[in-house]
Amino acid sequence: MIDHDQNIRDERKFAENCSVDVLATTRIPHEEYRKHPGLNQSYLRKVLELGLERATFERDNPDEPTDDMILGSVHHAYLSRHPEIMRSYERAPKVDRRTKEGKAVWQALLDGLQPGATLVRDEIWDKAHLLADRAAEVREQVLGIKDYTPDMTEVSLVARVRFKTEELTLDCDIKGQLDLVYQKDKDSPVLVVDYKTSSSCAEIPVLRKSRDSMWALQAYTYCTLAAAHYKAPASAYYVVSSKDHDNARAYSFGQNSMITGRHALASAVYRKMTQKGTDAEYTGITLL
């Protein structure tokens, strides 16, 4: 009889003992990022949260974006200063879509959009830009980042990464789209900055959000990619904008967070590349 619980014991042992080595990195154009088959932190987080089957299904069948998701995307686009990304969103005038005339106006606006662009209601647009202004202030005042070049934003990296123990070697492509990679000069450390929107940017809610959404996994993954690509030490910082209070705060990720993120990344890669059978079999439970 197969001991399915052994799968989890093996996964933990692998994650605790494996080395993580970046063999090569490549920067790819923004438009190619989504098409690249590499594993990103969002998918790997869902592998740990939901299981391999559900994570793969959700990746291949994404939901329609919610208002909160659109707000976050516009917030990122405005902060990025990346022309291509900024063109992906257009502000819509206030239209009453409950009326026949309003529906017709809205449809005309949709029909006039460039391919792939999203039409954003004015209240979401204004809120996103307000929060982005707050985040930019914090980025400058706390992190000291005021002037940066467009090539430092929306940095899409793909790396060939080797996870290795004495018993097993797993090679895979890991990809990440980093909001801002700031390096004062080529000999300086790299600051990896990620922008977040949340209901609150206070310490306790952010701690809870960071734990529940596995921000440490993202921070470790992005720092690993950036350090290898720029050949310099990298550290992670999150600027969190509060939707409820219209302010923002900056947070850093220390050694303990990096250890947590490294363990999560190795666990997710192991599960993705070695799992056989259903998620229930892999985790040792059976649905009755």
Residuewise pLDDT in 10s, the chain (288 residues):
455 577 888 999 999 999 999 999 999 998 899 899 999 999 999 999 999 999 999 999 988 889 899 999 899 888 887 767 777 787 877 767 778 777 787 777 777 667 777 778 888 989 999 999 999 999 999 999 988 888 899 999 999 999 999 999 999 999 999 999 999 888 899 999 999 999 999 999 999 999 999 999 999 999 999 999 999 999 999 999 999 999 999 999 999 999 999 999 999 999 999 987 778 777 776 656
* Partners of 178 in the β-ladder: 155
Which residues, 6 or more positions from 90, have their beta carbon under 8 angstroms from its beta carbon?
113, 117, 118, 119, 120
- The number of residues making up the chain comes to 288
Distance CA 211, CA 192 (A): 19
DSSP 142: T
Q: Exposure pattern of 243-255 as b/e (b: 16+ CB <10 Å)? A: beeebbbbbebee
Which residues, 6 or more positions from 113, have their beta carbon under 8 angstroms from its beta carbon?
90, 119
Q: Are 261 and 220 in contact (CB under 8 A)?
A: yes
* Partners of 121 in the β-ladder: none
DSSP 23: E
Q: Would you state the structure tokens that stand for residue 148, as one six-digit string?
A: 């940066």
Which stretches of the chain are DSSP H helices? 5-17, 30-33, 41-50, 52-60, 67-80, 83-86, 100-111, 122-141, 203-212, 215-230, 255-274, 279-283
Which residues, 6 or more positions from 137, have their beta carbon under 8 angstroms from its beta carbon?
248
Domain 8-278 classified CATH 3.30.1380.10? no
Distance CA 283, CA 8 (A): 6
pTM over 0.75: yes
φ, ψ of residue 106 to 5 degrees: the values are -65, -40
Distance CA 160, CA 210 (A): 27
Q: Exposure pattern of 166-187 as b/e (b: 16+ CB <10 Å)? A: eeeebeeebbbbbbbbbbeeee
